[in-house]
Amino acid sequence: MSSTISRDVIEHAPDAAADWPDRIYGLLKAYAIRQVALVPDAGHARLIRRCLADNDIRVVTLTTEEEGVALMQGAWLGGQRSVLLMQSSGVGNCINMLSLSTMHRCPMPMLVTMRGDFGEFNPAQVPMGQATQAVLEAMGTLVNRADKPEDVAPSVEATLKFAFNTFRPTATLIGQRVIGAKTFGKD
Amino acid sequence: MLAASGKLDRRELCRALLADRGDMLVIAGLGAPAWDITAVGDHKNNFPLWGGMGGAAMIGLGLALAQPERRVLVITGDGEMLMGIGALATIAIQKPANLSVVVQDNEHYGETGMQQTATHHGVDLVAMAEGAGIRNTMRVNTPEEVEPLRRAIHAGNGPLFAVAKIDAANLPLVLPPREGAILQARLRESVLGPEAHLA
């Protein structure tokens, strides 16, 4: 058995008119972020393009998200600020590596685009999506949620401030209600 | 430098690789590599890991990208490298010229009862690194091959990936500081000066 559907049903990326990805990019610049580690997510596609186009930001595409946690530890040792961009499913890949942040008091801000959250189509996304916040908090991460477009930038700024001012793992979860506009394969 | 088995002694290997280290920064994977670099001499430019298994090479990458004028050496074990093997691809793509990763390969999980690792069964870490696109690789099996590796680490033609086959014996524990905040702060101060603590 099989069925054919539009890609819109399974891909989630911000509407072209949404400005929050550009506002996140502005915050990365304002907070002097020099290394951006990521496993791509459609929700971060525009932000990733902005970072790739910036010669002062080193984009490090990872094979698994926990590599990004370790990269943030190394960047901080060398005096550079970094962030980790990932989808909620990738949070599960980070659990043990997040011990580095607590062990060494290393700032580790994470910007997470949610799946398995609001109006999800794919049942495989639901278990990790529903566990994302609990898993992060279990590892000592301060978690902010953004479920409206206007909440994204303030929440990301709080996540950056809290990480670099208080030396710990922090995360903004960008809800699927924000990301979930249909993509029409364009973003 | 050889153990009774005819393989390299891990501590003698580390001592030789860290000779004339200059301002090189050294990350050591958890377990025996952390004890080894500490046995050579605890140092403000050492970052011995107590956990984060699979992350040593990526910590080295983040540090190497942040400090491109410094040599960065990651010394880790075969089990630790296997756990984070995808890092070879990530590092190959980033091409940090100042980063070297040396795997001390005893083909066993030495801290947990000497269970065999995949390298014992023929998995070839050098071939995996080359397959990832790391062109500068070395295999070290004899004392004569150690000094060329040391020189290659300082040459700055990285990323360099080397596997040194070592004797599997567990040696006496020589423990670094266990307070992770101190380990981080002392290395940051060494690299960035006192301003590191005001960042």
Query: CB neighbours of A150 closer than 8 A, spacing ≥ 6?
Result: none
pLDDT value at residue A3: 83
In a domain, A116, yes or no: yes
- This model of the complex carries an ipTM of 0.98
Give the model's pLDDT for residue A181: 47
- Domain membership of residue B53 (yes or no) is yes
User: CA–CA separation, A113 vs A117, rounded Å?
Assistant: 10
B1, part of any domain: no
- Please report whether residue A133 resides in a domain: yes
User: From CA A107, how far away is CA A100, in angstroms rounded?
Assistant: 10
Q: What is the pLDDT of residues B67-81, one digit of tens each?
A: 999 999 999 999 999
CATH number for the domain spanning A116: value is 3.40.50.970
Residue A52, domain member (yes or no): yes
Lowest mean pLDDT among A13-27, B37-51, B134-148: A13-27
- Look at residue A162 and tell me if it is in a domain: yes
The answer to whether residue A187 sits within a structural domain is no
In a domain, A132, yes or no: yes
Q: What range does the domain containing B122 cover?
A: 10-198
Of A170, A164, A168, whose CA–CA distance to A81 is shortest? A164
Optimal mutation site among A77, A100, A106, A164, interface B, most CBs of chain B within 10 A: A77
Quick one: what percent of chain A has pLDDT higher than 90? 82
Distances (CA, A) of B141 to A102, B47, B107: 38, 26, 13
Q: Is the backbone peptide bond immediately before B159 cis, with ω within 30 degrees of 0?
A: yes
> What percentage of chain B reaches a pLDDT higher than 70?
100
β-pairing, A81-87 with A33-38?
A: parallel
DSSP-assigned letter for residue A184? T
What CATH number corresponds to the domain at position B138?
3.40.50.970
Please say if the pLDDT value at position A184 is more than 70: no
Q: Return the residue in A71, A97, A167 with the most chain B beta carbons within 10 A, the one to mutate for interface testing.
A: A71
The parent domain of residue A24 ranges over 7-179
Residues of B in contact with A75 (CB under 8 A): 62-63, 65-66
In which band, very low, low, confident or very high, does the pLDDT at A119 lie, cut at 50, 70 and 90? confident
* DSSP H or E segment with residue B90: helix B87-94
Does a structural domain hold residue A111? Answer: yes
The answer as to whether B4 is a domain residue is no
Give me the number of domains chain A comprises: 1
CA proximity to B89, closest of B77, B101, B98: B101
Give the confidence band of A183 by pLDDT, cuts at 50, 70, 90.
very low
What is the count of structural domains for chain B? 1
Q: Evaluate if pTM is beyond 0.90.
A: yes
Give pLDDT, residue B102: 98
- Tokens standing for B153? 């680490």
DSSP A37: E
Chain-centre distance for alpha carbon A81: 15
Determine whether A22 is exposed, middle or buried from the number of CB atoms within 10 Å of its CB (0-12, 13-18, 19+).
middle
Residues A175-184 have a mean pLDDT of 71
pLDDT of residue A185 exceeding 70: no
**A149 found inside a domain:** yes
pLDDT-derived band at A5 (thresholds 50, 70, 90) equals confident
Give per-residue pLDDT as tens, B107-149.
999 999 999 999 999 999 999 999 999 999 999 999 999 999 9
Element (H, E) at B48: strand B46-48
Q: Tell me how far apart the alpha carbons of residues A67 and B85 are, in angstroms, rounded to a whole number.
A: 10
A103 touches chain B (CB under 8 A): yes
- Pairs across A and B, CB distance < 8 A: 123
